[in-house]
Homo-oligomer: A and B are copies of this chain.
Amino acid sequence: MQSVRSNQQNGVAPSVLDRAMAVLAAFDGDGRRLGVSELSRRTGLAKSTVHRLAAELVGHGLLERHGTELALGLRLFELGEQVPRQRDLRAAALPYMADLRAATHQTVHLAVLDGVEVVYLEILHSADGPMLPSRVGGRLPAHATAVGKAQLAFSPPEVIDAVLRGPLTRLSTRTATAPGLLRRELARIREQGVAYDHEESLAGVVCAASPLLTTDGSVAGAISVSGRPGRLNVRRMAPAVRTAGLALSRDLAATVPWR
């Protein structure tokens, strides 16, 4: 996503849509409610511009007013629930995710690859799972997660190259950030069909993930189990994750109009 500032740096005048998206993006992460001044500071837009844009965005339900502050609006939730890539995959995956949680007593994730990052579509928490770096609708760098590596391993070379060109962000002391190392790891995943995260996304969390492949061999997402390193043996979990991944892949091929 291009920010207003990056467009300005590129010498391209930001469009109305660029500015509106910059206002919405300003709420990313810690922005539950923001005032016009803070929005102006975060977007680099003049306060008067933010004022005018905010009024229009409120009119469309993309923002909501709470006193003098603004928050993301319910219309975004409505539209977001209709996004086919998440709705179809989530609906198909949920029964398999529930099976996997029941069989392993671990936390189960569903994610898709988007550029060099993964976006989490669903998380089924186990009763006593670890603190997680993920949240539904949140992003993490693909190379630092099991669901990301599982998808990268089965992605076209140009997708892998874009990730390996970096920057390869370090999320924990164990994140693999050497391109050569990651390339060998992806080759191993391609061979074995399972990716691991040995505390690479967060200390205290290990994962095993399986890619979800469509009939033509392209990647539609990944499913994983996550737990605490002392209690979850990820290699022993691999067959369960792989089994769920293969069954769900077969389902997707039959039911989802991927292309």
Chain A residues engaging chain B, CB cutoff 8 angstroms: 1-2, 15-18, 20-21, 24, 27-28, 32-33, 53, 56-57, 59-62, 64, 66-67, 71-86, 112, 114, 119, 121, 135-139, 257, 259
Q: How far is the CB of A141 from chain B (nearest CB, A)?
A: 15
Write out the residue numbers on chain B whose beta carbons fall within 8 Å of the beta carbon of A112.
Answer: 74
Across the interface, A78 reaches (CB within 8 A) one of B20, B33, B75, B119, namely: B119
Is B16's CB under 8 angstroms from A15's CB? yes
Cα distance A193–B141 in the bound complex, in angstroms = 48
Write out the residue numbers on chain B whose beta carbons fall within 8 Å of the beta carbon of A64.
Answer: 85
Is A15's CB under 8 angstroms from B56's CB? yes
Q: How far is the CB of A45 from chain B (nearest CB, A)?
A: 14
Is B24's CB under 8 angstroms from A79's CB? yes
Write out the residue numbers on chain B whose beta carbons fall within 8 Å of the beta carbon of A80.
Answer: 72, 76-81, 137
Q: How far is the CB of A254 from chain B (nearest CB, A)?
A: 17
Top 7 A-B residue pairs of the complex, sorted by shortest distance between their CB atoms: A80-B80, A81-B137, A77-B80, A16-B16, A76-B80, A72-B83, A77-B83
Across the interface, A17 reaches (CB within 8 A) one of B16, B32, B75, namely: B16
Q: Give A79's nearest chain B residue, CB to CB.
A: B76
Is A1's CB under 8 angstroms from B60's CB? yes
Across the interface, A73 reaches (CB within 8 A) one of B60, B78, B83, B136, namely: B83
Write out the residue numbers on chain B whose beta carbons fall within 8 Å of the beta carbon of A72.
Answer: 79-80, 82-84
Q: How far is the CB of A154 from chain B (nearest CB, A)?
A: 19
Q: Give A62's nearest chain B residue, CB to CB.
A: B21
Is A66's CB under 8 angstroms from B259's CB? yes
Is B139's CB under 8 angstroms from A78's CB? yes
Q: Give 21 CB contacts A-B under 8 Å.
A: A1-B60, A2-B59, A15-B16, A16-B17, A17-B60, A61-B114, A71-B83, A71-B84, A71-B85, A72-B82, A74-B112, A77-B80, A77-B83, A77-B137, A78-B139, A79-B80, A79-B137, A80-B80, A80-B81, A81-B136, A81-B138
Write out the residue numbers on chain B whose beta carbons fall within 8 Å of the beta carbon of A119.
Answer: 74, 77-78
Is A84's CB under 8 angstroms from B32's CB? yes
Cα distance A94–B62 in the bound complex, in angstroms = 24
Cα distance A60–B17 in the bound complex, in angstroms = 9
Q: How far is the CB of A19 from chain B (nearest CB, A)?
A: 10
Is A21's CB under 8 angstroms from B60's CB? yes
